[in-house]
Every structure is written in C-alpha cells, then in structure tokens.
Structure 1
Amino acid sequence: MYGSSGSPVFVVGSSRSGTTLLYSILLASGDFAVYEAETWLLESYAVRYGDLTKAENRKAFIAAWIESEQFKRSGLSAEAFAAQLQALATSYAGVLKLFMDGIASLQGKHNWVEKTPGHVFHMEELARSFSDAKFIHLIRDGRDVASSKRKLGWSGTNDNDPMKQLIWAAKGWEYAVNRGRSAGAKPGTRYLELRYENLLTNMDEALNKINLFLHTDITIAQVQQCRVGALGKNNSAFANDGAVISRNALQRWKSDLSPVEVAAINIAIGKALSTLGYEAPTLSTALDLTTRLKVVWWSLIAPRVFALRRFLKHKTVLGRWRRSDSRGG
C-alpha cells in the first residue's frame, strides 16, 4: 500500500506513449484518488494566464479554471475552490497541489497521481515545488509514437508532406524523451523509467518495478479487475489471448510505415532508438538523394524549432495568444 504521506506521483512522457494506460494501472491499486483527466496547468494554463501573483491574472485564471472540463471532472465545489484559489494560489504548481489534494480529500484518499504528458517539460519545476514528488517516465518506441501522431495530425508541422510529418513527429518524440531523461538524471530526483512495451509483454516485471518505486502492492488481478480509464469496460486495452493487456498496439509501425518511411525514420531517430534499447532493422531499402537530404535537414531543424517554440511560448508574451495544447498519451 502506498504510504499516507501524500507524496505526489507524476506520470509523464511524450504524447501517444501510453501514459493513460500506465496511469490507469496505478489507479488499479486503490491507493490513489481517481481523476480521469489531464490538468495541463503548467503546460497550457500557465502560458495563457501568466503570473498568478498579479491579481488580474489570478482572477482571469480562476474564472476560466472553474468553467473548464478539467475542473468539472473533479467533483469539487466551484465556489469553495475559487475562494481557496483567490486566497492561496500564487503559482500553477500551487494550484495543482490544491486541486489534487482537494480531489483526494473528497474521495477519502491520502495520495494522488497526476498524468499530463506535457509536464515532462516541467519536471524540474515540479521537483522544486514538490520536494517529495516521484516521477514515472513512460517511453514507447518512437516509430509507433510518430506514426500515431501523424495519423492524429499532431506532427508538429503544418506541412502536408507525409514524410515531413513523420520525421517531425519522430523528432518531437526524441525531444520530449531527452528532456524527461535529463530531468530525471538530476541529483535528488525520484525517477523511474519504464517502457510501454514492457507493460504489454511483461506485466509482472513492470509491476515489480512500480511497486518497489512507489511501495505499492499492485497485482495483475487488480489490473484485470480495474475498469478505470484505459482499463474501462469495453476498452480495447484488454487482451483476448491470455495476455493481461492487449498487444495490438505493439510495433504497429511495422505495418503502418512503408520501407522507405522506416529507412527515413531510422536516419532521424535511429541513434535515440538504439540508446533506449530498441532494435532498428537492417534495411535493404535505400533512399534517393533528395529524400535523404530532406530527412537530414528536417532532423537538424525540427528540434531547434521545438526549442524556439517553447521559449516563445513560455518565456514571452507571444504564448498568451497561442491556442492551448491538450494532447494526451
């Protein structure tokens, strides 16, 4: 059983990496408050409403927050929570604590898990704000992530070129993974790294790692009986072949991507895949010179564009006019 200290747990990772599944597995323990949404407080709301120590910003944020779907799913009283925010909220991490503590208290729980994939970029701030926080970073094969993001139009580029969309999505995965691993490596960070594929193929091992890290006692039986989130009734997460979780999402890239696309994505993120233990197949498909040059150029420019976008979004007033992102995992 997870301790009664109230130490928060944050599930982070690139979007489309299976963070919702992992979050649902943690909820299967019964130790954590159930909140089936992503707060996006540090990644989107902080950008839109700015410094909460300024009265006008705090007022605008509170008005928007209590009308948001994120708040409506909490079960909290809008009037009471608005008053609490007005009196106590000076930072978005502080809002997050008040919000999740309130949900936990309402449900008679001491502990909570927050799952916003985009908070992988805010681990340092969260670690400073929650000195006892624990982070679980879920990583999935970048080829599956890129293929999935391209299908959803989340590639990171507005270009209609399918190859460019794939490469930018892949580099976005790499960018998020690197940020999470870098933050997790900092001294004092309570950090666990898991592979999505391991959740599907070796649930026992994955649960052992989770239980050791969180001091929980989550069992396969609890996971099988859970009907929360990604483990909900009639959800495709469950397998019909004897496995605990369906493996239908495993290595979809092998059928989704053409040989040329596989060769291209290996140029873009092959080193990252290898570092993370993913095997890149030896391919006989050769890219023509034009395509190869495009892939190399996109691979060079994409992470720089991502970094610039984040700087403009979070460090300048330009971010206030950008539409909030709400892409989940």
Structure 2
Amino acid sequence: MLHSHPRLAVPPETRFLMPAYYRRRSFGDLRDVSCRRSLAEWIATDRSTKFRELKIDKHEFVQQAVDGPGSLGSVIGTAFRMYAERFGKPRWGDKRPSYVKHTDLLLRLFPDAQFIHLIRDGRDCVASLKEMPWYTHDSFHAVSTWAEAIDAGDRLRRTLPQDSYFELRYEHLTDDPSTELKKLCAFLGEDFAPSMVSPREAASIAVPVHKVWHSNTHGEVTRSRVGSWAKRLDAWEIALCEHVLGERLEAHGYELTGAAPATKEHLALCQKTMNKRRASRMRKAMRDRFNRLREPSPVAAMLTTGQRALAGVPQQRHESPELVERAG
C-alpha cells in the first residue's frame, strides 16, 4: 500500500541493515574511501543481504556509496535511495517485523525516521508464523514474538514524539482501507493517493513471485484472514495465547474466547522460552553498548539536508529543496 503511493518506495524485505550495524567495527572508518567500498561491496554481493531484491545496479551502488558521506547510515541509505529512484520517488521506507524491537538502533542510523507499527490479533500472528515456510521455531516462540512486539510498541508510544510513531490496526486497515490510509498519510505528511487502496499493481513489481506467503498482496484487500486463528490453531495453542497474551490482547481491543486454561506444562515451556529470549536480548544490548564506545566512524546518515542538520553538517548551496524530505 505504501509503495503504491506516488512518492513512497518500499522494497521487499532486505537483510543487510541490522547485520551491517552490528558488524560496523569490522568495516573500519567509513570516512575512508576504501572502507566505504568494502561495506558497499559486502551489501551488494553477499548472498545473505538479499540486495538483488532491490534490482539496482550493484556497481553503480558501490560507486555512489564511495562518493557519498562517510557514515554507516549514508552507505545503507544510498541503497534504498537508489531503489526509490528506480520509480522516480523522493522517499523510501523499509520493513521488517523485528524492527519494532530495534528502533533505538534505527534512530542512530536515521535520526529523522518515522515508524509505522502494524498491529494484528496475536492469535492470528501465531497462526501465520506457524505456516511460514521460513519459520523454524515452535508455537512458544511465536507467542513470545508477539508479546515482545506489543511490549516494544507500548514503550515507543510512550517515549517517541507523535510525529515519529504511528500505530495501525490490521483489522481496521482491511475493513476500511481508505480511512486508515488517510490517517497514515497525514502522519507521514503526504497527500492520500487512491492508488494505495488497490496495491496489487505495485505488488507485481515490489513483491517477488517466490515469496508465496505474500500472495494476497497480488489481489484486492481482503478480511478473509481476520479471526482465522480459530480454525488454524489447536485448542492448546488458543488456550496458551489467551493465558499468556490475554492482557495484551484485551488492551488492544481483542476479545478473548474464555478458552479452557492452558496446562502447567505448556505455561512452563512458554515461560522458559520467553526467559531465554529476554536473556539473549540483554546480552546483545550489552555488547552493543560496549561497541558504541569503540565505533570507528559516524553512524547517522547524512544524505539529506535534514539529516545533515541533525548531524551538525552545514547545508550545501547546490542542494535541491526535495532533499529536505525525511529519508525513511
């Protein structure tokens, strides 16, 4: 829907933004041309990054990254900027469900970013995760994933400015796309475009055919999956969801069925999973705080006048007014 807007470009999910951030020390001082080249070549050629999904020329990307500002966000942002330029659009976005738990890192890279959090019934999310061909975890991890995302969103709603964070309900969006997308465009500072309500034309370009789990994007907006968890989850999974996620579900307007209580065994296994995931996040956060003390070069993007102003870099005379736009 966002990619269907004439000014917004949102590519298929990539896999280089967060890995590049966590590996930033290994690329050296990005104010050095050779270091920028090394990072750009890794993004463009490593099979794990899915750079090919952007369908932009890798040699041109490397050259633009080398010629651009010496910061991590600038090199990463150059790839997305070039993707937007493929469609003649001035603004770009990126999407991954896990970003909701990493907004502090994303704001380090793109201090002017705006975040859209799409919230869906946790039971439907658990059911969908189970069916994804790439999902290798069990239902306890799926339950934990939704709980973590909702808790992270609650923190962001309390701490981020109103012009930086926006919550959107999946059920409302599929029920009345025009009304919800008008609200979203107002948040983004963009005019609503009717083309957003029928995104299937853009999907034929922006959604790779091999991503069969996104096949619904090639058709009209549908509510067929709303509440489908009732048929897709086993009874014990419904009981577990409503016990572990119950307060969160009700806080976001979702009704509980009054299912039978979850078993002690299932609750213990779920709690164990949640504890392990929490410990892993804490360890990763501690490593990142330590690495921030030894960063070899600037992190924040400096590709637009707004970003350069936030970084304390003087405006250049030849800059186009269009570059004042937010980058994310």
Instruction: Please report the TM-score for the alignment, with normalisation by the length of structure 1.
Output: 0.70
Where does residue 41 of structure 1 map in the other structure? Answer: 16
Does 1:170 find its partner at 2:143?
yes
Any idea what the Cα deviations from partners look like across 1:156-214, whole Å, max 9, x if unmatched?
A: 75xxxxxxx21221112221232244234324361110011111122233122112212
Q: Please say if residues 62 and 82 of structure 1, whose CA atoms lie closer than 8 Å, have aligned partners that are also in contact.
A: yes
Question: Is the aligned partner of 1:215 residue 2:181?
Answer: no
Q: 1:139 aligns with which of 119, 125, 128?
A: 119
In the alignment, structure 1 residue 63 sits paired with structure 2 residue 37: no
Q: Secondary structure at the match of 1:137?
A: strand
Shift of 1:221: 5.5
Aligned length: 279
| Change in 2 beyond 3 A, CA 1:61/1:128 | closer
Partner residue, 1:15: none
2:70 & 2:101 partners in 1: Cα distance? Answer: 20
SS at match of 2:168: strand
- Secondary structure of the corresponding residue to residue 216 of structure 2: coil
Which of 98, 106, 128 is 1:148 aligned to?
128
Q: Give the direction of change, closer, same or farther, for the CA distance of 1:76–1:288 in structure 2 (3 Å limit).
A: closer
SS in 1 for 2:227: coil
Answering whether residue 218 of structure 2 is matched by residue 245 of structure 1, we say: no
The equivalent residue for 2:91 is 111
Residue 238 and residue 151 in structure 1: after superposition, are their counterparts in 2 closer, same or farther (change >3 A)? Answer: closer
User: Which residue type is aligned with residue 275 of structure 1?
Assistant: A
Deviation at 1:254, TM superposition (A): 0.7
Residues of 1 paired with 2:236 and 2:128: CA distance?
A: 17
Local SS of the residue matching 1:169: helix
Structure 1 counterpart SS, 2:45 = coil
Alignment-mate amino acid for residue 37 of structure 1: P
Establish whether residue 186 from structure 1 lines up as the match of residue 159 from structure 2. yes
Normalising by the residue count of structure 2, what TM-score does the alignment of the two structures yield?
0.70
Within 5 Å, which residues of 2 pair with 1:266-277?
266-277=242-253
Distance 1:220 1:151 in 2: 32
1:109 match: secondary structure: coil
Is contact 1:42–1:122 with CA below 8 Å preserved after alignment?
Answer: no
**Which residue in 2 is equivalent to 1:82?**
62
Change (3 A) 1:302 1:206: farther
Task: Report which stretch shifted further, 91-100 or 225-234.
Answer: 225-234
The residue number in structure 2 matching 1:161 is none
Inter-partner Cα distance in structure 2 for 1:291 and 1:78: 48
Unaligned runs of 5+ in 2: 292-328
Shift of 1:154: 6.4
SS at match of 2:118: strand
Query: Matched residues in 1 for 2:242 and 2:202: separation?
Result: 36
Q: What SS does the corresponding residue of 1:192 show, helix, strand or coil?
A: strand
Q: How far is 1:316 from its partner?
A: 8.1
Q: Does 1:290 align with 2:265?
A: yes
Change (3 A) 1:125 1:93: same
CA contact (8 A) 1:139 1:196 kept: yes
Q: Which amino acid aligns with 1:273?
A: L
Pair 1:278 & 2:267 matched: no
